[in-house]
Amino acid sequence: MVIALVTGGTKGIGLQVALQLGKEKFYNESIHIIVTARSPNEQAFTQLKEEGISYEYLPLDLASDQSIFDLKKTIKEKYGKIDILINNAAVASSPKKDPSLRDSYLDIYSVNVAAVAIIMDEFKELLEQSKHPRIVNVSSTLGSLAVAQLPNSPQKLYTTYTITKSALNMLTIIYSQKFAEFNIKVNATCPGYCATELNGYQGTKTPQEGAKVIVRMALIKDDGVTGGFFNLEGQAENPEVIQW
């Protein structure tokens, strides 16, 4: 059985990734989904059960190194491996009331960048036990330096969040190179501007639509790309490259 870990997998895009990925097969094997979040979401669990997804919930607080270590320990003891790691969870603001600019940067970076790096480092050991290891980092075109230089680009409206996605893109490039000798494919995706809690449900795409590119990149074959940045828009059948 293929073991897939989806952070932030109990709502929004992460839940849709779990629902879609759990119905797929990877190299003819069924996929078991581990969804993580800080707290359980019974409504999400009901939906996963009703759609016949093989899943389990494990708690994870991305602001806590110990929580990441505990998650790895649990998965290692139970499965001994991870085949697919999807770093989906992210925040757009600090949890503090009236945070300083420094606190805003530190708190958002802690989850969107540092936690992803720690998870990739920690779970490398378990990914090495997979025949077809994959990492997908959920980024955004807001993190694209090429897009930022276009007239009327939206980046300046979401400065702190945008910069963390640029950093996540750099992590993707670096880790794709670091992990290449272990045949671990590492790619970034942009689900698009989806209506989720993160943006107050103002997005123009559904989470179901946004999840598609993430699932596609999670299931790429052994001769597929690594170190790329992709989206999937409209009626396109295949993910398209985004300029860094």
SS3 155: helix
Spatial distance between the Cα atoms of 79 and 141, rounded to a whole number of angstroms: 35
Token match 């045949």: residue? 183
* CB atoms inside a 10 Å sphere around CB 83: 24
Query: Are 36 and 89 in contact, with CB atoms under 8 Å apart?
Result: yes
Pairing assessment for the beta strands 29-37 and 25-26 based on DSSP bridges? antiparallel
Question: Is 81 in the active site?
Answer: no
Query: Are 92 and 158 in contact, with CB atoms under 8 Å apart?
Result: yes
Q: Which of 124, 161, 175, 185 is catalytic?
A: 161
Q: Which of 72, 124, 165, 212 is catalytic?
A: 165
Question: Is 25 in the active site?
Answer: no
Spatial distance between the Cα atoms of 213 and 242, rounded to a whole number of angstroms: 12
- Could you give the residue numbers annotated as active site? 161, 165
